Amino acid sequence: MKYTKTIALIITLLCFLQGQGLALAQDNPNQYNYLYLTIRNGLCDNSIRAIHKDHNSFMWFGTSNGLDRYDGYELKHYSTAPRQPYLFIESNYINDIDEDDNNYLWVASEAGIMSIGNTPARTIMCFTLPFRPCLSMISIISG
């Protein structure tokens, strides 16, 4: 009986101390590093449909208005009507983004699946459903 009260007191004390530590961590907003990205910062759309962090720590955002790559400083916008031809993609409506074991990025869109190469001279290749040919295969000059 004496040991049961002692154990109960120790467990209660540990739970109280753990709860205090969690409260302190949550009360410190400077503990986490975050940034809001919106169309004001250059994001192509505020409605994000897919997010992926690749092996180089680039953040990729798929929207209904294109694909954005964020390097921590600036956004690079891939779309059907890009300012530079090496940023061309088959469809602006992005459904999903994933990466394979060889670090190729796979982007699912309404036009099909696009593969983005993992080298500095990235290559975008598009694979579509039958009777829907890809418009092009483009070699990206700047990573």
pTM: 0.66
Average pLDDT in the 131-136 region?
47
Residue 23 or 109, more confident: 109
* 60 and 105 Cβ atoms separated by less than 8 Å: yes
Banded model confidence at residue 24, pLDDT cuts 50, 70, 90: very low
d(Cα 38, Cα 55) in Å, to the nearest integer? 24
